[in-house]
Structure 1
Amino acid sequence: MGGALAASVLGLWLILLSGMDIRFRRLPNWLTLPGAVVILTVATLGGHGAAALLGALGLFAVYATVHLAAPRAMGAGDVKLAVGLGALTGAFGPDVWIVAAVGASVLTAVVAVWQLARGGAAAVPHGPSMCAAAALAVTIV
């Protein structure tokens, strides 16, 4: 029962984050930061704290680098979300972390191309792709 509850809470968090980013183009601190703390805490209590911390730091470093190099291409909310999602996927192992990290970029690119093909703007929120890729990676890898 605990695993189902954790998965449900995680799913709700990912849906809320995605909805906020799609609707407001913002990933609020009140969702990103507590989520990261909870994920790191649960991973530590489950014996995966080091892997989760490494995943969080690694994805944060990648996203922070992109944000600093091109702030208009990557928002600060995405960088903060990377901590929690990096921790989540890192706790499941490096293969899951890599699939989620690469998958997020691929999903965003696919959505941007699809929007351009329909005559829309190429700029799309990245948070939903980050959330979807993480969820898929922990589910299927």
Structure 2
Amino acid sequence: MGVLAVGVVLAWLLALCVYDIRQQRLPNWLTLPGSAVILSAAVLFGHGAAAIAGAVALVVAYLLVHLAAPAALGGGDVKLAVGVGALTGIFGPDVWVLAALGAPLLTAVLAAGAAIRGIPTVPHGPSMCVATAAAIGLVVL
């Protein structure tokens, strides 16, 4: 992945984190275009199958949780799963699994800390973004 691509992806992930922390939601205008660019680039550079597999697998998992407990996981998180699932899928199943497991674990740790401080909820999107960046960083660096 080139330096420009890394910069664009990190800027996208950071924008998602900031927006979700401030607004407690992930907007379509951030999640959907980012996902489309990632999937398009993956197809263009010969990683389409891995990206699509990663996106579908993560979306199915998140959608099931969202349908079972809508208050626990929002629709924006499900839409973000397309982009981060595709992105981690490009780097292989080990990166995908690390990010997919890391995000809920990070959210659980943050939620426990927030509960101690009397904060009722924490957004899940930032954990998805941080886990994705960290998992990819372990492979790239």
TM class, shorter-chain normalised?
over 0.9
Q: Deviations over 1:69-114 (max 9, x none)?
A: 1100000000000000000000100000000000000100010111
* 2:134 aligned residue: 136
> Any unmatched runs of 5+ in structure 2?
none
Is the Cα–Cα contact under 8 Å of residues 113 and 122 in structure 1 kept in the other structure? Answer: no
Q: Deviations over 1:1-55 (max 9, x none)?
A: x700000010000000000100001100001001011000111111110000000
- SS of the aligned residue for 2:2 comes to helix
Code of the residue aligned with 2:108 in structure 1: it is A
* 1:91 aligned residue: 90
Runs of 4+ with >4 A deviation: none
* Identity %, equivalent residues: 61
Work out the number of aligned pairs and report it.
Answer: 139
Matches within 5 A, 1:28-47: 28-47=27-46
Q: CA deviation at 1:60?
A: 0.3
- Kindly indicate whether residue 56 of structure 2 is the aligned counterpart of residue 57 of structure 1: yes
- For residues 58 and 43 of structure 2, what CA distance do their matches in structure 1 show? 18
Q: CA deviation at 1:121?
A: 2.3
- SS of the aligned residue for 2:73 comes to coil
Code of the residue aligned with 1:45 in structure 2: it is L
* 2:103 aligned residue: 104
- For residues 39 and 122 of structure 1, what CA distance do their matches in structure 2 show? 33
Q: CA deviation at 1:122?
A: 4.0
TM-score by length of 2: 0.96
RMSD in angstroms over aligned alpha carbons?
1.0
TM-score by length of 1: 0.96
- For residues 32 and 8 of structure 1, what CA distance do their matches in structure 2 show? 17
- For residues 45 and 102 of structure 2, what CA distance do their matches in structure 1 show? 26
